[in-house]
Structure 1
Amino acid sequence: MRILVIVSAMQSLGFAFCVSLFLASINVVISSSSPKKESTKQRAVFVFGDSLYDPGNNDFLNISIDLKADYPPYGETFFKYPTGRCSDGRLISDFIALHVNLSVWKPYLEPGKQQFINGANFASAGAGALARTNPSTLNLERQLSLFMNVVNTLTQQLGNAEAKKLLTNAVYLSSIGGVDYEHFKSDYPNATESMKLEYVNWVIGNITNAIKEIYKVGGRRFAFQNVAPVGCFPAVRQDYNLSGPQCEEEMLALATLHNNALSNVCRKLESQLSGFKYLIFDFYNSLLDRIKNFSKYGFKEGYKACCGSGVYHGSNCGIAEYDLCTNPNDHLFFDGHHPTEHANSQLEQLLWSGNPNVTWPLSMKQLFEFDEPEISNLADDDLFMHA
């Protein structure tokens, strides 16, 4: 069907990164497609990332419409209203929360008193590991600063000993970097191989610094979702006028460089940091396999998004004139950059309990069930009251 939505002077924006507004006062009724609650250990979860994990923090920033999505048809499948999430429903991070007996996420920036004993979600649509990537968003450094505020709050509320225990037992889940590489390709279309390597090292360096800062305050369990095959996204294929199964190969190569570097740095940190445990979810190949073989996974469409304009519905979902499919569950992508809730549910199952070819060296379930790491090498003064 053809839908016309009247918006402000920002109609010319090419595409929208999506974020969410979730009403904390409502206890969401979980549908039959929700994951079975399997974890026997209760742990806080702290989430960092971009639009793939964002529950709506950008709605509380002074930011342009292309970095928001608090308008229809987002949220139509599960919430029945636009929550601002980058999907028709829940995200991978939401399904993980449900798997461990938590509620779907609300934005950390949402006004009002919040309790952080179950964690918090700092993710921001359009955010990068680099401050230069969409500087109006919550980049990784800003998300880390917000997390340190939570550390101080927990210490004041619980006392040093209980806060230390909570932070050490918690899981730190992240998905960031993809937006950095989209910007790099746009800013440096003729980049040399040395420039690409330098940029990847820069991104990985910022992620490594964030890991070490979290480790200093007690963090021991880290779950990393690696960078997606951005070059195969409907928005990118549309922008580069690609046809059939073609993808933008340079962007795929950048993502591969990043993902290899992420694996290497995690192995290095495991050897350097006592008690450091991690997993890497191979989001890149898990999503790429679904793009190339969508019917194998129950989708009727893997190239064209459910919502948007252009040959692949790669842009303008919810903005100006756009097309909207009748059943998002048939589509792998909801808009030009983001999976549908149905796809997110499948992908989260791989993160939760996938085999070692998909999530290694542990699955998320194993990371939750893993015995308590050693923290004796940390002094109390190193753990708390960070600015």
Structure 2
Amino acid sequence: MSLPYATPFYSQNGTIQVLLQGINFGSALATIINPKRQSHQSLNQQLRQAFETVQLLELLLGQDSANHFIQSSLFYLSFGKDDYIRHFLDNSSGISLKYNGQSFAKILVNQMGNAIRDLYDVNVRKIVCLGILPLGCAPRILWERHNDTIGAGNRGCEDEINKLVLQYNTMLEEQIIDLNAELSGAHIIFCDVYRGIMEIITNPEVYGFEDVRNACCGLGTYGGESGCLSTDMACDQASTHLWWDLYNPSQAVNSLLADSAWSGQRIPAICRPFTVQKLVSYK
């Protein structure tokens, strides 16, 4: 989009020059469900910060100019991955004993829908909403489920976990279709990073990747036993790896997915019903 990186919320000074360049409310760990420990920011916490920023824009620009700015701005929501990692796949949380996969996905999707409605109420009209990547293929999951060295390189993705993720993604996309019909003037797109990464796993050589199982930066089988404590641990050619660490793709994968989301090239139809580039062009 030829824009500078958005300034983190806690680093910005509240001046109009900074606000007009965009704000990043995100954190390294972010869940839809409010966390018991405040080690990372929930969806609700980030929404409150966004609403504070909207109010500040109204004070600095005036109501009409602020409304126009907000309506023409792009809001990017990427949630859900950490909910599954920290609340559902981790048996210590107890949530997986209380809810089945469909019920858990429904809770998360309903909260995402409410968040989008709340944003709409403060004049947000352009929203990109990401699905969850195939966690069943992540190095940490492979290490947990197949913590052995014999034949480890031949293990495939964990279908059971990927099915859980697909339940959420499918429900979220259906919710977005309903919201586009419900909210007049809203343009909300769903970006299917699950499909994009599975395409890379299926055809790695087409996209220039050599290793789609092992983390570039990690220890143990698949690099999934412990995370990336220092970049000194990293492999020599990160760009040939699908996975950077326990659960996160490499920069090369993120760049490929971002280009595909923007233009529909090289992996088509990641974002539906249209590309991010078309979303930006709406007046």
Same-fold call, TM > 0.5? Answer: yes
* Aligned amino acid, residue 31 of structure 2: G
Distance 2:232 2:222 in 1: 11
RMSD: 2.3
C-alpha spacing 1:282/1:111, structure 2 compared with 1 (3 Å): closer
Cα contact 1:200–1:257 (8 A) shared by 2: yes
Whichever residue aligns with residue 219 of structure 1, its letter is V
Deviations 1:94-153 (A, max 9, x none): xxxxxx221123321126445211321111122111103764211100000000110011
TM-score, normalised to structure 1, is 0.66
Letter in 2 for 1:157: L
The separation in 2 between residues aligned to 1:177 and 1:119, in whole angstroms, is 23
CA deviation string 1:291-326 (max 9, x = no partner) = 233222101211111111011112434438984211
Q: Is 1:122–1:146's contact at 8 Å kept on the other side of the alignment?
A: yes
Of structures 1 and 2, the one scoring higher in RCO (CA 8 A, sep 6+) is 1
One-letter code aligned to 1:105: A
Q: Please give the secondary structure, in 1, of the residue aligned with 2:184.
A: coil
State whether residues 140 and 222 of structure 2, in contact with CA within 8 Å, keep that contact through their aligned partners in structure 1: yes
Please show how residues 122-271 of structure 1 align to structure 2 within 5 Å: 122-132=25-35, 135-182=38-85, 183-187=87-91, 191=96, 195-241=100-146, 243=152, 244-271=154-181
Q: Please, which runs of 5 or more residues in structure 1 have no aligned partner? A: 1-99, 373-387
The residue correspondences of 1:1-387 to structure 2 (distance < 5 A) are: 100-110=1-11, 112-114=13-15, 115-132=18-35, 135-182=38-85, 183-187=87-91, 191=96, 195-241=100-146, 243=152, 244-319=154-229, 323-354=233-264, 357-370=269-282, 372=283
Answer yes or no: is the 8 Å Cα contact 1:177–1:227 preserved in 2.
yes
| Residue deviations 1:48-82 (CA, integer Å, cap 9, x gap) | xxxxxxxxxxxxxxxxxxxxxxxxxxxxxxxxxxx
Higher helix share: 2
C-alpha distance in structure 2 between counterparts of 1:322 and 1:250, whole Å: 34
Question: Is the partner of 1:109 in helix, strand or coil?
Answer: helix
- In structure 1, what is the Cα distance between the partners aligned to 2:6 and 2:226? 26
Q: CA deviation at 1:185?
A: 2.0
The SS at the match of 2:124 is coil
Q: Is the 8 A contact 1:127 1:140 kept in 2?
A: yes
- Structure 1 residues 191 and 155: alpha-carbon distance in aligned structure 2, compared to 1, 3 A threshold: closer
5+ unaligned residues in a row in structure 2: which ranges? Answer: none
CA distance in 2, matches of 1:218, 1:328: 41
Q: Is the 8 A contact 2:6 2:21 kept in 1?
A: no
Distance in 2, Cα, partners of 1:325 & 1:281: 29
